[in-house]
C-alpha cells in the first residue's frame, strides 16, 4: 500500500506548475511538470504565442518526462520591458533563454522548437551543443526553401522598413492575422481552442507590444542570413531528430521541413494535415510520436 509520503510525492510529480524566475533582472514565466529524474524536454514556443501553446503536450507527456516551457521577454506573462530598455532581437532572446537554462541547472535536454523557438534554440546550440540530447523541430524553419509567398510582407519590410511596409507587416499582429495563423490550413477548425487565439491576441494588444513584435519581425531577416551556419552545425553534431510539421503551414513549407534530411542522418518525419500550430489538432498523436522517438533514442 502506498504511503502518504509516496502519494504526496506522486501528486507533486504529476502536477503542472506555473512559475517565474529572475533572469538578468527580468521575470521569466515558465511552466514545469513531471519528475526531474526523467529526461528533460525544453519547449521553445513560437510567434505570436507563449508557453501556453504547449498546455496539451505538457499534460500528455508529464508522466514520463520532465517538461520546461519558458516564455520569452515581451511575450505572455514574462516581463515586457520597453524597447528603449531592452534589445528585442533573436541574439538577445537566445542569451536570456540560455541563462534561464543555467538558472534552472539544466545540463541536458531534448529541445523542441516551434517557429521563433528555432532561431532561439539554434543560437543556443551553436554556443552550447553539449546541452542537446535529441532535437524535435515543429514548423521551425532553417532553409530558404521553406519560406513561402505568405511571408512577402516580411520580405518587403526587410528590404525597406518604410511606414507603408511596417503597416502591412503589422497586419500579422491583428486578430485577423492571429486567426489566420491558427486556422489557415487546419483540417478541422472546431478542434482549435479559441482561448489560444484570444490569449495570444490579448498580449499582442498590450500598449507597446506591437512595436516590440514589429522589431522582432524586422530582425528575423538576420535569421535567414545565418541559416547556412545552423545547417552546418546540424551536419556536424548530427542530433537524433524528429520532425513534426503541419504540412499546410502558410509560412514554413513542407519543402523546408524535408531539407533537414539533407544535413541530418538520424531523422524521422511526421507530417500532419494542418497549419502552423499542429499541436492544436493533433497533440495526442504528436505526444505519442515524441514518446516513441525518445524511448528509442534516449538511454535511461
Contact 191, 280 (CB under 8 A): yes
For residue 242, the cross-strand partners are: 136, 268
Using a CB cutoff of 8 Å and minimum separation of 24, what contacts does 100-107 make? 100/21, 100/23, 100/28, 100/30, 100/70, 101/42, 101/131, 103/21, 103/23, 104/21, 104/68, 106/40, 106/42, 106/68, 106/131, 107/131
Residue with cell 556536424: 236
Residue with cell 524536454: 41
| Residues catalogued as catalytic | 276
Query: Three cell numbers at 250?
Result: 502558410
The span from the CA of 46 to the CA of 217, in Å, is 12
Contact 249, 271 (CB under 8 A): no
Amino acid at each position: 500500500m502506498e504511503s502518504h509520503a509516496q502519494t504526496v510525492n506522486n501528486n507533486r510529480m504529476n502536477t503542472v506548475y506555473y512559475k517565474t524566475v529572475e533572469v538578468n533582472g527580468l521575470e521569466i514565466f515558465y511552466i514545469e511538470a513531471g519528475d526531474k529524474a526523467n529526461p528533460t524536454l525544453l519547449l521553445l514556443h513560437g510567434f505570436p504565442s507563449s508557453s501556453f501553446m504547449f498546455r496539451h503536450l505538457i499534460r500528455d507527456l508529464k508522466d514520463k518526462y520532465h517538461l520546461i516551457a519558458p516564455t520569452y521577454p515581451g511575450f505572455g506573462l514574462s516581463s515586457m520591458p520597453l524597447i528603449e530598455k531592452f534589445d528585442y532581437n533573436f541574439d538577445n532572446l537566445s542569451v536570456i533563454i540560455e541563462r534561464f537554462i543555467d538558472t534552472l541547472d539544466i545540463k541536458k535536454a531534448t529541445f523542441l522548437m516551434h517557429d521563433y523557438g528555432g532561431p532561439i534554440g539554434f543560437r543556443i546550440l551553436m554556443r552550447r551543443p553539449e546541452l542537446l540530447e535529441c532535437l524535435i523541430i515543429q514548423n521551425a524553419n532553417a532553409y530558404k526553401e521553406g519560406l513561402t509567398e505568405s511571408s512577402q510582407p516580411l520580405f518587403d519590410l526587410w528590404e525597406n522598413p518604410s511606414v507603408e511596409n511596417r503597416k502591412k507587416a503589422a497586419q500579422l499582429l491583428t486578430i485577423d492575422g492571429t486567426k489566420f495563423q491558427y486556422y489557415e490550413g487546419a483540417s478541422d477548425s472546431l478542434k482549435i481552442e479559441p482561448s489560444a487565439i484570444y490569449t495570444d491576441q490579448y498580449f499582442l494588444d498590450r500598449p507597446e507590444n506591437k512595436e516590440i513584435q514589429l522589431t522582432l519581425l524586422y530582425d528575423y531577416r538576420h535569421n535567414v542570413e545565418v541559416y547556412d551556419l545552423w545547417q552546418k552545425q546540424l551536419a556536424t553534431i548530427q542530433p537524433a531528430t524528429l520532425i513534426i510539421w503541419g504540412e499546410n503551414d502558410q509560412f514554413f513549407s513542407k519543402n523546408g521541413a524535408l531539407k533537414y534530411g539533407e544535413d541530418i542522418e538520424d531523422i524521422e518525419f511526421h507530417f500532419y494535415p494542418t497549419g502552423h500550430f499542429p499541436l492544436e489538432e493533433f497533440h495526442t498523436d504528436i505526444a505519442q510520436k515524441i514518446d516513441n522517438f525518445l524511448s528509442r533514442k534516449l538511454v535511461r
